[in-house]
Amino acid sequence: MIAFFLLFATAIVRPSQPTVGDLITIEYSEPVTVKPSSDYEIVSRTPTSVVVRTFAPRPITVHSTGADVVIGIKSVLAKNDRLEPAPLRPPREVPASRNAWIAIAIAALCAAVTWLLVYLRKPAAQVVIEPSVPADVRFRNAVQAAARAPRKWAALADATRQYLAATYPGLGVELTTEVLLAMSGGMAAALQKILRQGDLEKFSPWGAEPADFNAAAEQALDLIAPEEVAA
């Protein structure tokens, strides 16, 4: 810390031995006005203090209305420094390490062992081969089940459609009732009541009309081809 006892004011400088680029604080004993100068930069100021800095390694004089303060600025360079950059050193080569490859190999081995254990513990898939049931047998069973169904007319119509689709490839289950009747030829008379009653039970808010279900079921079984009956 340097104290300057001047004619008009006392000034204290910190740090006592500033170097190039240091922030230099000057505290005055009374309010002053510091004058700007090309020798230094005013960083901040208050009525009784100022912070300046300079990048020239020579004494500077801070002028103010109270007093002039002379501050010596030291260079950060060594004595007789020729200002030449230090020689570049090549980067030091780091010896190769196999730890990463070893870790990857261990992880891959653990994964392979895990998958092998999972595969060995997995039970072999059992292929269940269902016996082939003839279309006429499935149809008879479906007609009997329709008699016990909550919506028996709809169940009978669905069973009939599935039988026709399995027996006659052109009569698919996706056909509407009108198209199916038009394409069924001589079977249309037997199909009409079954299909229309099924549609009413599926889509009409009033349900199917009163009709003899047992007679319709017998008519449905009459659709079985004679060769299938003989078999």
pLDDT in tens, 123-161: 655 655 666 888 888 989 999 999 899 999 999 999 999
The Cα 175–Cα 167 span in angstroms is: 15
Domain final residue pick, 71, 105, 124: 71
The dihedral region occupied by 185, where left means phi > 0, alpha psi between -120 and 50, and beta the remainder, is left
* CB distance 42 to 50 below 8 Å: yes
For residue 217, CA distances in Å to 2, 151, 192, 212 come to 122, 14, 12, 9
- The pLDDT tens digits of the residues spanning 16-34 come to 889 888 998 989 888 988 8
For residue 86, being part of any structural domain is answered with no
Q: Are residues 139 and 67 in the same domain?
A: no
Q: In the structure encoding, which two tokens stand for residue 100, read together?
A: 């990463």
Which residues sit opposite 45 in a β-bridge? 50
Predicted TM-score of the model (pTM): 0.44
d(CA 73, CA 58): 5
Determine, yes or no, domain membership for 87: no
Q: Which domain holds residue 206?
A: 135-230
Domain count for the chain, please give it. 2
**Whether residue 142 sits in one domain with residue 219:** yes
DSSP-assigned beta bridge partners for residue 2 = 13
Residue that terminates a domain, selected from 16, 49, 71? 71
User: Where a domain ends, among 45, 71, 97?
Assistant: 71
Q: Is residue 38 part of a domain?
A: yes
Position 177 in a domain: yes
Q: Does residue 76 lie in a domain region?
A: no
Give tens-digit pLDDT for 88-105: 777 877 777 788 888 898
Percent of the chain with pLDDT over 70: 85
Domain contains 18:
yes
Q: Is the pLDDT assigned to residue 9 strictly greater than 70?
A: no
What's the CA gap between 146 and 198, in Å, rounded?
11
Question: Is 171 contained in some domain?
Answer: yes
Distance from C-alpha of 126 to C-alpha of 128, rounded to nearest angstrom:
6
The answer to whether 191 and 181 are in contact (CB under 8 A) is: yes
pLDDT of residue 125: 56
At residue 6, the pLDDT reads 44
pLDDT of residue 145: 93
Identify whether 110 is part of a domain. no
